[in-house]
Structure 1
Amino acid sequence: MIEKLMQMTRASGCAAKINPKDLENFLSKIKQTKDKRLLAGFEHNEDAAVYKLDENTGIVFTLDLITPLVNDPYVFGQIAATNSLSDVFAMGGRPLMALNIVCFPEEEKKYNLLEEILRGGADKVAEAGGILAGGHSLNDKEPKYGLAVVGLVDPKKVIYNNTPEVGDFLILTKPLGVGIISTAIKGEIAEKRVVDKAVFWMTKLNKLSQELLELNIHSLTDVTGFGLVGHLSEMLLLSGKELGAKIMFEDIPVIEGVYDYVNTGMVSEGAMKNRKIYSCIAEKNINLSFEKEIVLYDPQTSGGLLISIDPQQVEKAIKLLHQEGFTESKIIGEVIKSKSKERIKIC
């Protein structure tokens, strides 16, 4: 049963996103309805849309779906749901309800796989404190699964992806490398201990405690399909300010074993595409081998949160994150003032 799930998908590694430059071009041609109650929409590539209902209530709305990354259908369902729920958490919100989005072949002999996928997703929605309220299915040869999620947030406490400040410290809450590991799984060379570690992080909800959310977090996003450098570049460039970042490479958490897989060619097309798009914004001030550099561009599914926070509260944030199970959370750099084309300095 488990082997069949991976055989049913043509994709390798994490599900690739459309080139962000192409997306920007498409979206610029779509007429956008102006509404002052829409607090987050097209403009800043936000993780989710936010609509203000009243002074105390905002609706967070998002959707996502992916192709199988692991062999176990139940675990795949958990990963896909965790990934979809993440965008609500990345806005400082909490999930309210979700709808399944399912693409699956209409073959009765394979429905046991679908049942396990949906069970994994339902368990994660419940863990997040939400209600699974239905969904929609489509007959498709290649399995895909995800959620449309509605959440709640205080309109005054929405955390945006483009509001960092000079002097902020940058925290990454999960280690990088799940895209490379997913490619290694597809290539049938991934070791169980490495896969187990990747699954642990991909199925860990990006849910932050209220105590953490009450700290002076200036900006927040989750690291997903565009990799660390891609999502950090959005945080800086979309701010509209002369901002850059100094990143300490050795402080970036990476899942053990990832570099070995890169050396055997387990690099996804998405990682190479991200490197081509975003490397122009990154200046390397240290010598990085290819296997290390490519991790910075590795597409993450259900990746960690990238937090831009007041330096006076960073140690408290790290302590709280560790207490809440984000045991590999690290300070990876700081926000600096920069006019340079290469806004991200890798040291």
Structure 2
Amino acid sequence: MSTRQNLEKRKRIMKRSIKLGHCICDPKKPCPCDLFKEKDICLCAGERMESPTGEVKLTHLIEKAGCASKIDQAFLKSVLKGLPVIDDPRVLVGVPAGDDAGIFDIGDGKALVQTVDVFTPSVDDPYTFGQVAAANSVSDIYAMGGVPLTALSVLGFPVRKAPDEAMTDILRGGIDKMKEAGVAIIGGHSINDSEIKAGFAVTGIMDIKQVTANANAQPGDVLILTKPLGTGITAFASQIGRAYPESTEATAKSMTALNKEASALMVKFGAHACTDVTGFSLMGHLAEMSLSSGVDAEVVWDDIPVFPHLLQYVADGILPGAIERNKESCGGRVVAGDGIGPEMLDMCFDAQTSGGLLIAIDAPDADKFLQALHEAGVLAATVIGKVTAKGEGKVHVITTGKRQLPKPRETRPKKTVEAKPQPIATALDSQTTPCCVGAGDGPVAPEQGAATGPASGESEGAQEMQQRFMDFMGRVNRPGGLDAYTKQAMSIALSVHAKCAPCLKVHVQKAREKGFTEEEIDEAAWMGIAFGGAPVMMFYKTNKPQ
């Protein structure tokens, strides 16, 4: 509710903005801005819109979901190559390695492992998104064989455009998941952003001798993937209303699962190389591992674990744009074997969010390692291929023919039904509810017993005319050359002069909400009385709301 003090502040701030010719909060906008004209709210003066309430679907508030929102690998490399190389002997793994996290030697055989990861929602539920953001961020530490210790949260949130509770739930989900990982959140940073984003900067520790980088895969190694593929495609299917509930539930469960057990077992069994499969896709991360290790690899498409209904989504062409960006980044190093169709290969370029670990391990140890993973609850862990030989980082995708894409679903666009304007407030009975209800800065509830729909027998034409009149009233009442405070005083004067009792009640109520004093209300009324004489004065004295 506005107060006189708020309005004085508003006038002072707006006077400065108008003199400058720019809004002091957003120099790209004029003053008064559209928000002020439409909603009678000046953000520069500290006024705030009401926060939305109710259930929110996060993926409907963003353009790209999850790790698909990240900058593509090829563009990122083109930018980074122009930067100076960090020449510090304590940096054991840095930017040039293109690995999951950086490693810094702190002496005595120990090293710090550090990473940061931020992205948009890949699920609709805020609490679950917070968990996914935490699990995804800490996964980079696990991929290096480290133990995460502390984290700083990073959050972008469209204040007043999404429910405040959503921000709280995102943070709560992240805190709970980090607690499960044994990580202490010791601070964070937040910005008012146009889209929701969340993530963490995580610091861990490890034994230098146990670093499991992505650059040590050996010919003959077996490739094991610990989580199913398809989070990006499933999130996209959800965004366009084509997802099956079973698949969204399965991806959410997987994305919130930590790679903690898989990492510990990987270190125990002495795996040669590892990377976590995230935004650059299975092909992107494997191609990077192969190139860094100087080897070629082979993946059996039929053996890649996938989420429920993923193959149906692929067959239906539900393939997000991130797939194309990933193909542009590393597609030249991926070779499709006989029987691998374009859609089958596209699946392998799907940007993953909080995906599994891709581990290269010595073949004789693979069976026992896989058994240990299953016993530890990492049930999706599967052998998907092998490192074939020394090479130039090529990845060959083959098929045994035991798995096929299903037939596409027959889809028809939903018929669009044009919505008719809803009656704003009342029948045309001016003695129950005023014609100006709903105009300007929001409707006022009609009196008990007042009609709230079209009058009995009222034609559609009459309803349409009423709607048009209400639209006209709304435009007239918007702040423009005259601010909302002045127009509210004018509305009182005109209501008195017209001797419209319901109108007077509405506008006096609105004036009080805006911070008018009783003296100011009376002064506005006397302007109407001055033009109407004694009968109007008697009307006001009789009908002024108490």
Tell me the equivalent position of 2:99. 46
Q: How far, CA to CA, are the matches of 2:390 and 2:208 in structure 1?
A: 30
Tell me the equivalent position of 1:191. 244
Tell me the equivalent position of 1:132. 185
In structure 2, relative to structure 1, the CA distance for the partners of 1:146 and 1:232 (3 Å cut) is: same
Tell me the equivalent position of 1:66. 119
Q: How far, CA to CA, are the matches of 2:206 and 2:141 in structure 1?
A: 9
**Contact 2:284–2:326 under 8 Å retained in 1:** yes
> Structure with the greater relative contact order (CA < 8 A, sep ≥ 6): 1 or 2?
1
Deviations 1:237-275 (A, max 9, x none): 112x3x101211111111120121223332111112212
AA in 2 matched with 1:263? A
Tell me the equivalent position of 2:172. 119
In structure 2, relative to structure 1, the CA distance for the partners of 1:166 and 1:119 (3 Å cut) is: same
Q: How far, CA to CA, are the matches of 2:55 and 2:142 in structure 1?
A: 31
The alpha carbon displacement at 1:49 in A equals 0.7
AA in 2 matched with 1:261? Y
Whether 1:215 aligns to 2:245 is: no
Tell me the equivalent position of 1:235. 289
Residue among 81, 90, 93 paired with 1:28: 81
The alpha carbon displacement at 1:211 in A equals 4.3
Q: How far, CA to CA, are the matches of 2:99 and 2:162 in structure 1?
A: 40
Q: How far, CA to CA, are the matches of 1:13 and 1:137 in structure 2?
A: 18
Residue among 323, 328, 331 paired with 1:279: 331
Q: How does 1:1-347 map to 2 (within 5 A)?
A: 1-12=54-65, 14-107=67-160, 110-208=163-261, 210-239=264-293, 241=294, 243-339=295-391, 342-347=394-399
- Specify the SS of the correspondent of 2:176: helix
AA in 1 matched with 2:336? K
The alpha carbon displacement at 1:4 in A equals 4.5
**Contact 2:141–2:148 under 8 Å retained in 1:** yes
**Contact 1:83–1:202 under 8 Å retained in 2:** yes
AA in 1 matched with 2:287? S
The alpha carbon displacement at 1:345 in A equals 4.4
The alpha carbon displacement at 1:5 in A equals 2.7
- Specify the SS of the correspondent of 1:78: helix
Q: Structure 1: which 5+ runs fail to align?
A: none
Q: How far, CA to CA, are the matches of 1:184 and 1:28 in structure 2?
A: 35
AA in 2 matched with 1:293? L
In structure 2, relative to structure 1, the CA distance for the partners of 1:73 and 1:36 (3 Å cut) is: same
- Specify the SS of the correspondent of 1:237: helix
Q: How far, CA to CA, are the matches of 1:256 and 1:278 in structure 2?
A: 27
- Specify the SS of the correspondent of 1:238: helix
The alpha carbon displacement at 1:110 in A equals 1.7
**Contact 1:13–1:268 under 8 Å retained in 2:** no
Q: Structure 2: which 5+ runs fail to align?
A: 1-53, 400-546
The alpha carbon displacement at 1:34 in A equals 0.9
Q: How far, CA to CA, are the matches of 2:265 and 2:312 in structure 1?
A: 38
After superposing the two structures, state which structure 1 stretch, 207-216 or 221-230, moved more: 207-216
Deviations 1:116-148 (A, max 9, x none): 000110011001111011100001121100001
In structure 2, relative to structure 1, the CA distance for the partners of 1:234 and 1:341 (3 Å cut) is: closer
The alpha carbon displacement at 1:186 in A equals 0.6
- Specify the SS of the correspondent of 1:197: helix
Tell me the equivalent position of 2:506. none
In structure 2, relative to structure 1, the CA distance for the partners of 1:169 and 1:126 (3 Å cut) is: same
**Contact 2:301–2:397 under 8 Å retained in 1:** no
AA in 1 matched with 2:341? S
The alpha carbon displacement at 1:190 in A equals 1.2
In structure 2, relative to structure 1, the CA distance for the partners of 1:123 and 1:214 (3 Å cut) is: same
**Contact 1:227–1:299 under 8 Å retained in 2:** yes
The alpha carbon displacement at 1:16 in A equals 3.0
AA in 2 matched with 1:346? I
After superposing the two structures, state which structure 1 stretch, 71-80 or 276-285, moved more: 276-285
Q: How far, CA to CA, are the matches of 1:333 and 1:109 in structure 2?
A: 44
Q: How far, CA to CA, are the matches of 2:393 and 2:338 in structure 1?
A: 18
- Specify the SS of the correspondent of 2:71: coil
Q: How far, CA to CA, are the matches of 2:321 and 2:282 in structure 1?
A: 16
In structure 2, relative to structure 1, the CA distance for the partners of 1:342 and 1:51 (3 Å cut) is: closer
Q: How far, CA to CA, are the matches of 2:241 and 2:255 in structure 1?
A: 19
In structure 2, relative to structure 1, the CA distance for the partners of 1:260 and 1:110 (3 Å cut) is: same
Structure 1 or 2: larger strand share? 1
Q: TM-score, normalised by structure 1?
A: 0.94
Q: TM-score, normalised by structure 2?
A: 0.61
The alpha carbon displacement at 1:336 in A equals 1.4
Q: What's the Cα RMSD here? A: 1.8
After superposing the two structures, state which structure 1 stretch, 200-209 or 89-98, moved more: 200-209
